[in-house]
Chain A
Amino acid sequence: MIIAERKPIGRILQMIAPFKKVAVIGCRGCVAICSAGGDREVETVAAALRLARKREGRPLETVEDTFVRQCDPEYLTPLEELRKEVEAVVSLACGVGVNLAADLYPDLKIYPGVDTSFYGANPSLGQWEEKCRGCGDCIIDFTGGLCPIARCAKNLLNGPCGGSQGGRCEIRPEVACVWHQIYERLKARGEVEKLTQIWPAKNWIPAGHGGPRERVRPDLQFNNNSKK
């Protein structure tokens, strides 16, 4: 999922300083699962903004809502009505949601309430770890399912840097050396010969060379009435 984290309340207050009535909109997708932008966080951020503004002597009125998703146009349609009711929107969705709303409603003043951080997993409650960098050229079939781009501090492709100690990364010793883990995984799977593959310098073109990436499935584009 996409992992995000609430921005400091002071930063959000700066964004909405000119307004008297704003909507705080959450998303029930990734940011709800990573506890950054779901229903609870909407309540918390809205209450914090109102409290801060009340103390400033400039009361703020908030409308709170959480959409099913903010990365699909059909789920953003409530903004059509909402924008008539409020002066601005603080979105607790990831950057994808804020971008799409800004694309679809150019006159809507929409501001991000979270920082979008990484693609991660939720190995235990209250903890999220980066597992993928979305580089567009996945080689984890050669590395036991573990990504050296996302999980090695030096993004190395051909084995460990030589600085790891006891299976721990030299940059952040609390993190396991992913190349140590890759070796252990491949050995356990009887696939250690995969390490003999020598990778040339990584081709970063699929990672975003040439601007925003796009994927098209023509078979799904029939009867497509989405706003673009």
Chain B
Amino acid sequence: MSGWKIAILCCHYTNEATAEDVADIPAQIEIRRFPCSGRIEVADILRAFENDAEAVLVAGCERGSCHNRSGSLRAEKRVEAARKILEEIGMEPERVQMAFIPRLDTGAFVAAAKDTFEKLLEISPKGETTS
């Protein structure tokens, strides 16, 4: 275990993954579900960092298959806004990742979580924490 915490903010419809599905990622994974990824605000992403996450993955439905039509596209824009703020305060924008996941595909969800962890390895190779 790296001592890192990764927060996953995701759409209720995206998947049914549980802590067991992401258990082989050597980090503490916190999954927070929203009614739709379009409901995830920039402040939610920033608060996740405030609560000691080293990286945040926002997961929404695949483009064109969002239960609420455009929720995941809106989430993508919020991710961009959050990245801009991270940059403004001297944090690597890559700490926020966006993934478009086929609905109820736990495999793709877990793969996106692993990608986020690998991105974190690139940013903080020695397992340093920001807080």
Contacts and interface: CB of A to CB of B under 8 A. Distances in A.
Interface of A: 8-10, 13, 40, 43-44, 46-48, 50-52, 54-55
B117 interface: no
Contact of B43 (A9, A10, A43, A55): A43
A158 B20 CA distance: 73
B88 interface: yes
Contact of A47 (B50, B90, B91, B131): B50
A54 B131 CA distance: 7
B49 interface: yes
Interface string B36-56: 000001110011011000000
A47 B46 contact: yes
Contact of B89 (A40, A44, A46, A55): A55
Contacts of B131: 54-55
A10 B90 CA distance: 9
Interface in B29-84: 41-43, 46-47, 49-50
Nearest to B89: A52
Interface string B88-131: 11110000000000000000000000000000000000000011
Nearest to A64: B43
Contacts of A50: 50
Contacts of A43: 41, 43
B85 A44 contact: yes
28 contacts: A9-B85, A10-B88, A10-B89, A13-B89, A40-B41, A40-B42, A43-B41, A44-B41, A44-B43, A44-B46, A44-B85, A46-B43, A47-B42, A47-B46, A47-B47, A48-B46, A48-B88, A48-B89, A51-B46, A51-B49, A51-B50, A51-B89, A52-B89, A54-B50, A54-B131, A55-B89, A55-B130, A55-B131
A44 B91 CA distance: 16
Contacts of B42: 40, 44, 47
Interface residues of B, number: 14
Nearest to A126: B77
B56 to A, nearest CB: 12
A8 B91 CA distance: 14
A9 B87 CA distance: 10
A52 B46 CA distance: 10
A94 B88 CA distance: 22
Most chain A beta-carbon neighbours within 10 Å: one of B47, B49, B85, B130: B85
Contact of B91 (A13, A40, A46, A55): A55
Contacts of B47: 47
B129 to A, nearest CB: 10
